[in-house]
Structure 1
Amino acid sequence: MKRDDLAQPVREALDAYIALLTRWNERINLVSPRDLTRLWERHIDDALQLAPLIPASAKCLADLGSGAGIPGLILAIATGLPTHLVERDQRKAAFLREAARVTAAPATVHAADAATLPPLRADVVTARALAPLAALLPLAARHLAPGGACLFPKGAKAEAELTEARAGWTMRVERFPSRTDPSATLLRLTEVARA
C-alpha cells in the first residue's frame, strides 16, 4: 500500500500525523531526529505494509509498545479498524491521544504496561521494535483473541528469534519480505500457544 494507493482522507490524516509528530519530536523523542526528513519511507510505509496481512475477519487491533504510533496508529488510520494503543510512557501516551484526535483515528490509548493491562482480546496484535520474540510472545498472547494473529516486523535476526521462541511456544509462522528493508521480515503468527 503506497501513498498514491491511499484514499485522500487517509493521506490527509497521515499528513496531519506527520506534522504533529514533527512538532512533538522537538520535545520528546518519538523517532530518531535523522528520520524526520524521511518519515514516510522509514516509518509510514513500513507500517502500511502490514495492512494487507491483517485477516479480513479482524475487527479489533492492539499495538503493544506503541511509542509514536507505529504501526498501530498508522494501521488504525489506514484500515479504520478500532485499535488499542498500549504505551506505558506517559508522554508518548499523551502524544498518541493527541494524534488520534487530530487524525480522527479509531484508537484508544492505554497508558499502561502491556504485562499488567487487562487482556484486550484483539484479533490482531502488532508490535515494532518492542522486544525479542521470546519476550514479546507472552505479552502478545495475553492480549490476543482466540484464533487471532500477531504481526511483527523483525530485522535480520528474525530466524534466530523464532528459534529461541520455539523453546517455549508453538505457532504457525508465515514470513513475508519487507518492502522497506531487504534484511527485514514480516512475521504473521497464528495458533500461538505455550509449548
Structure 2
Amino acid sequence: MTATRNLPGLDVSRETLSALQAYESLVQRWNTAINLVSKGTLADFWMRHVVDSAQVFTFCPEKAQTWVDLGSGAGLPGLVVAIIARELRPGLRVTLVESDLRKATFLRQAAQALELCVTVLSQRIESVPALSADVVSARALAPLADLLGFADQHLARDGVAIFPKGARYETEVVEARKAWSFDVVRQPSHSDAEAALLVIRNIRRAQD
C-alpha cells in the first residue's frame, strides 16, 4: 500500500483501501473496451476519481439508510460509496441508476467481483419509480438545475442531495434558482481547489 493512497476526512481500514485499489484496477481493465472514464485521467485515477468520490461519503447523515447514485457510469461515486459504507455504514443500501447497458453490466460485474451488495437499475432516471432515498448523489452528470429535478423525484422529504461540481458551481447555483428553491452548503473539494461539493436540502420548485 503506497503512502499516498489515503482518503482525506475518512478513517478506513487497509482492507477498504485495498478494495478501492481493486476497483481502480477493474476500471482500468474495462476502460479499454468501454469508455468508463477519460483516458487522460487514468494516470491520476486515485485523486481524480477515488478521492473525489470518497469525499461525497463524508456528508452522509448518520441516520441515512438508503443512498441512490444517479447516472453512475463507472461507479463514481456509487461504487466507491458502497465500498466505504461496507466498513463504516454496513446498513446503508446503495442503488446505482445507469441507463447505458454496457456500463450497467460493468457495475454489476464490479459489484460481484468486489462482493458488494448493491442494486443496479439499468433504466433512465426519469423512468425509475420514485425511490425516496435518504441521500441522492450524481457526479459529472448534468447541470445543477437538471440534477435538482432528478433529486426532487427520488429524494425523501427530509433527504440530502450531494453533488460534486467544478469551478463554475456558483454560476450553476444562480441558474438553478430560476426554477428551484433549495438550501445549499458549499463544501471545499479535497481533489480540486476550484471545485466544491454542494450539499442540498429542502428542494422544491420555485413557484411552490
TM-score w.r.t. length of structure 2? 0.90
Confirm whether residue 163 of structure 1 aligns to residue 171 of structure 2.
no
Q: What letter is aligned with 2:80?
A: I
1-side partners of 2:7 and 2:147: how far apart? 28
Structure 1 residue 106 displacement after superposition: 2.6
Once the 2 structures are TM-superposed, how far is the Cα of residue 8 of structure 1 from its aligned partner? 2.2
- 1:2 correspondence with 2:7: yes
Contact 1:158 1:185 in 2 (8 A): yes
Higher mean C-alpha deviation, range 133-142 or range 3-12? 3-12
Q: CA deviation at 1:5?
A: 3.5
The partner residue of 1:82 within 93, 112, 117 is 93
1:160 CA displacement: 1.0
CA contact 1:154–1:187 (8 Å) conserved in 2: yes
Query: What is the distance in 1 between the residues matched to 2:18 and 2:190?
Result: 23
Give 5+ residue unaligned stretches, structure 1: none
Task: Give the match for residue 18 of structure 2.
Answer: 12
Equivalent residue runs for 1:1-195 within 5 Å: 2=7, 5-80=11-86, 81-195=92-206
Q: Distance in 1 between matches of 2:205 and 2:16?
A: 38
Q: Which moved more, 1:7-16 or 1:179-188?
A: 7-16
Aligned residues: 195
> TM-score, length-normalised on structure 1?
0.96
> Is the CA contact (8 Å cut-off) linking 1:156 and 1:183 kept in structure 2?
yes
Deviations 1:77-132 (A, max 9, x none): 10132111000000000000011111122311000100111111110000001000
Q: Secondary structure at the match of 1:53?
A: coil
**3-state SS, counterpart of residue 150 of structure 1:** strand
Counterpart of 2:7, as a letter, is: K
The 3-state SS of whatever aligns with 1:50 is helix
CA RMSD of aligned residues (A): 1.4
User: What 5-or-longer segments of structure 2 have no aligned partner?
Assistant: 1-5, 87-91
CA–CA distance in structure 2, aligned partners of residues 143 and 109 of structure 1? 15
Q: How many angstroms apart in 1 are the aligned matches of 2:52 and 2:33?
A: 24
Shift of 1:146: 1.5
Query: Contact 1:77–1:106 at 8 Å: present in 2 too?
Result: no
